Structure 1
């Protein structure tokens, strides 16, 4: 994936959704500038100052841009399934969870000066061909029944959990920047809570949830533990 960088120092990044206003950096600010990102506390965002220290590696950059669209995938699928089935779990997680996850990654995308792969906020619009195909496949599956739609929710959260953990491991082995690792960790915590919600609803409907993307042991460990206060 081509890396797009702005010349000169990194800019002070502000998420328009998470912040009511953006400050400006001074002329003397060095490469290691303070930026704002979101810690997810039960998917209610607060802003914690963190430092962007250096450019990301090529692999880290590709992962960051992929995760940005991956979080949009989750939001868009949930909004589509809400429109189909009217189940509030989809609307709540899309609007109060996945949108905040998108915004948190956007903070980092802007801070590193990359071109945002989310060129359109339209539901179902994606730059990455892999994500577009996955979106179409998951929506088609979720249209089969309301129960299958909940299973799709479980799959997406497992998918996110695996990718975010891989992203954290990659970041630690790469430039090891707290700004990136803390953001991924917050999103990972939120995804675990989302999985708990979907599995809880599925089991409330009298079904047994089986792991779809990660190991059954991983799913069991998550759903059998209490909801987390992310970022605390």
Structure 2
């Protein structure tokens, strides 16, 4: 009898250990992992969703987990430019939504808000003055973006198709500029942010091109190569998941 009880207890203990191991695995399966020079951090959530939105809370955690590296003048210039360029996209889309009431402009404008915020986190980390002094639609520190805003809105006000072409053009420019600034930096955190913003921009490009096709129209790239454009629109929606 004692032997039977001992066997039963041993079986219960072994079962408990095995179940504990399975529970531990299930708990960590939805955790994003990133390895940096300062170590490994575990973060839960999706960084970029199918609409191209950046999870700003998660992005801020990622940025804080990465080393603060020396910054060149070109890297500073890139951050300042992209902060306003992402705001430009948001502002144009908000304005075109008011004109045409197409949900795509409202949805992607909300996404662009998360993109410009991600750049803001990097500006704050490196103590770079924020060029966005006035967050109002159409207000920019750099006259280049003010003029571009006016030009794009004027084009987009002509017709729904023209407005969608403007959307694709902005994403075209955004992808090209992000690629340029990625090539100009060796900072781990800056590259990480730019690469994830590009995922969002490619998702936006796909969305605008799909909508243009519904209207029987197409888009011809102006800033990225035709080959890259074709690769983007013929590939699946991207999401920022595990980063290793």
Instruction: Please indicate the TM-score interval, normalised by the length of the shorter structure.
Output: 0.7 to 0.9
**1:40 lines up with 2:54 in the alignment:** no
Partner of 2:29: none
The count of corresponding residues between Structure 1 and Structure 2 is: 192
Task: Mark the structure with the bigger radius of gyration.
Answer: 2
**1:136 lines up with 2:146 in the alignment:** no
**1:51 lines up with 2:69 in the alignment:** no
Contact 2:90 2:109 in 1 (8 A): yes
Cα distance in 1 for residues equivalent to 2:49 and 2:99: 29
Contact 2:47 2:239 in 1 (8 A): no
Change beyond 3 A, Cα 1:185–1:83: same
Partner of 1:204: 214
> Could you say which structure has the higher helix fraction?
2
Cα distance in 2 for residues equivalent to 1:131 and 1:188: 20
Partner of 1:194: 204
Unaligned runs of 5+ in 1: 1-31
Cα distance in 1 for residues equivalent to 2:74 and 2:123: 14
Partner of 1:86: 101
What TM-score, normalized by structure 2, do the two folds share?
0.75
Partner of 2:92: 77
Deviation at 1:231, TM superposition (A): 4.2
**1:216 lines up with 2:236 in the alignment:** no
What TM-score, normalized by structure 1, do the two folds share?
0.79
Unaligned runs of 5+ in 2: 1-37
Deviation at 1:230, TM superposition (A): 2.4
Q: Once the two structures are superposed, what CA deviation does each residue of 1:79-117 show, in whole Å capped at 9, x if it has no partner?
A: 00000110110000001x100001100000011001100
Cα distance in 2 for residues equivalent to 1:225 and 1:130: 33
Bigger mean CA offset, 209-218 vs 195-204: 209-218
Cα distance in 2 for residues equivalent to 1:155 and 1:79: 16
CA RMSD of aligned residues (A): 1.7
